[in-house]
Amino acid sequence: MACVCCDGVGGDLLWQDALCRVVLPQEPGYPGFVRVIAQDHVAEMTDFSAAQRQHILDVVWVVERVVRTVMQPHKVNIASLGNMVPHVHWHVIARFPEDAHFPGSVWSAVQREVGASALAVW
């Protein structure tokens, strides 16, 4: 079975090591959307050793801090779902009251249209 996390980088590569990579995916309307993706095809965090889990989470926390510093969002959402892609990956998403889905998740129904001028500010 094909896996989008295994078959490609998943966006613009920002950083990587042997365990995970940090990418900027193509998520229109969300310039502060970052993913932390496990390098190996692993479905659940508990499939990793305790040290590996801690390392991945440390990377997620650094990414959150950078997103907060650079984007200055109203809120940061962090999610690890894997229902559609059973490969460990974390979404770190800068959120603004003016974004298309706020206050819902970025996967919920669109609440409003967002113009290019608003996106440029973020």
* E strand segments, 58-100: 75-79, 89-95
pLDDT tens per residue, range 80-122: 998 889 999 999 999 999 999 999 999 999 999 887 777 776 6
Q: Are 33 and 23 in contact (CB under 8 A)?
A: no
Helix (H) or strand (E) holding 55: helix 50-71
pLDDT tens per residue, range 14-53: 999 999 999 999 888 898 999 999 999 999 999 999 999 9
Provide the residue count of the chain: 122
Report the chain's terminal Cα–Cα distance, integer Å.
Answer: 37
Q: Are 35 and 91 in contact (CB under 8 A)?
A: yes
Helix (H, G, I), strand (E, B) or coil at 9: coil
What would the two tokens of residue 47 be? 């499939």
Q: Are 75 and 92 in contact (CB under 8 A)?
A: no
Q: What is the pLDDT of residue 29?
A: 87
Check pLDDT > 70 for residue 1.
no
pLDDT tens per residue, range 51-78: 999 999 999 999 999 999 999 999 999 9
Distance (Å, whole) CA 36 – CA 80: 10
Task: Give pTM, 2 decimals.
Answer: 0.92
Work out the pLDDT band at 2, boundaries 50, 70, 90.
confident
